[in-house]
Structure 1
């Protein structure tokens, strides 16, 4: 009996001395921004395919300001990489079940999200119809911690 009492006393002391309070510091919340990395382009008249390493061509969308900032570090002129480095305005046009991306007032194609981490910009599919010599661009999302 004495063993059972001692065990229960120790158990109750351990359980009641544990804090159930939330001591989480909310100053340590981490914020991320999305970067979309162009990883492949294919199409055109010749049907060429070009692949890019991550961080070579990065697109950052600012939905509030409707700006697109592109950092294009591609030095190989034989690869189709769409746009040069710079800040552009963008808009999204939704028609029926399709979404089209326009940059600086020019429509560049249909946007399709394969998953939360990838999208395709299909320059062969425009809101006005199909284009036989357009390019398709594959993007991969990377989350970057913001200081």
Structure 2
């Protein structure tokens, strides 16, 4: 009987342990490094859909220093995420989703492919922004 209690205790301990769901992604993000141009912004309460000329708004990521340098030449009153400047960034992994954090502000869910990445904040009546190489 004592062995059975020990077995049940170990079983509950093993089942109760899990990995932390909220962890920072500290590894190389393979592909984020370099220059990205804002291509499109959609969403928001008024439902905008705005395309940007390549080079109008450029984000340059440096994975080594975890900074992004933004050059924003947009003069329209359209949402364009951030003003020109250099910001720190990180990627937060929450329940198998990645979120982009810039200067400690969560700006949305983050998805990266070889030549494109998106930041999607539409679930909070925000915007979805698409960047291309």
| Correspondent of 1:122 among 120, 123, 128 | 120
Name stretches of at least 5 consecutive residues in structure 1 with no aligned partner: 1-32, 125-129, 142-147
* Counterpart Cα distance in 2 of 1:85 and 1:123: 21
* Counterpart Cα distance in 2 of 1:100 and 1:69: 19
Q: What is the root-mean-square deviation in Å for CA atoms of aligned residues? A: 1.2
Q: Which residue of 2 aligns with 1:72?
A: 72
SS in 1 for 2:45: coil
SS in 1 for 2:101: strand
* Counterpart Cα distance in 2 of 1:123 and 1:36: 19
Instruction: Indicate if the aligned counterparts of 2:108 and 2:121 stay in contact, CA closer than 8 A.
Output: yes
* Counterpart Cα distance in 2 of 1:75 and 1:46: 20
* TM-score where L is the length of structure 1: 0.66
Q: Which residue of 1 aligns with 2:45?
A: 45
| Bigger Rg over Cα | 1
How far residue 83 of structure 1 moved from its aligned partner, in angstroms, is 0.4
Instruction: Indicate if the aligned counterparts of 2:108 and 2:120 stay in contact, CA closer than 8 A.
Output: yes
* Counterpart Cα distance in 2 of 1:49 and 1:95: 28
* Counterpart Cα distance in 2 of 1:83 and 1:119: 16
Q: Which residue of 2 aligns with 1:102?
A: 101
Q: Which consecutive segments of 4 or more residues in structure 1 shift more than 4 A?
A: none
* Counterpart Cα distance in 1 of 2:95 and 2:76: 38
How far residue 96 of structure 1 moved from its aligned partner, in angstroms, is 2.9
- Give CA deviations for 1:49-86 in whole Å, capped at 9, x if unaligned: 11100000000111111111000011112x11010000
Alignment coverage as a number of residue pairs:
101
